[in-house]
Structure 1
């Protein structure tokens, strides 16, 4: 017949062995299905490509705006750009001019 002391020793041994195994299984599950795991890798790559294309578009837009700012510098204003801005903002045109709006 088993004694009470023997049962607690067996339970303790199984608990000591089971906790590390459970911890390893949990870490393995996070490595596969966690937020930065193997299953999320494809989604992260897709988001990265989207952000790279967005970055290229934003850099192009920044370069265009930088060019317009340089053309409107107070010490040397580009006369064509200044005339374009005056006509578009004030709706001013000479009688002999034809206005074409481009998209």
Structure 2
């Protein structure tokens, strides 16, 4: 288990490369939590992230994403430069990149 995945599984913040932001995953990978410096945390469900993936393959197949009885969870996250995150999901999809603005817009 990588150090990032271990931190995620414990709900610990992960270094994003952005000094004004902490990222963690809660509910066994079901929810991404973003906390900007001086602001309250926002949550983004993993299923919402997966359905709204903007990678080339997902954009080409929009509307064809199958909903499973077992919801997709977040398996790993990595900083994507200083502009956002790259997320790997439990269904094996690993081309998902999200800028900070997109993540904020998807929050509940």
TM-score by length of 1: 0.16
Higher relative contact order (CA 8 A, sep 6+): 2
TM-score by length of 2: 0.16
Larger radius of gyration: 1
Q: Which has the higher strand share?
A: 2
Q: Which has the higher helix share?
A: 1
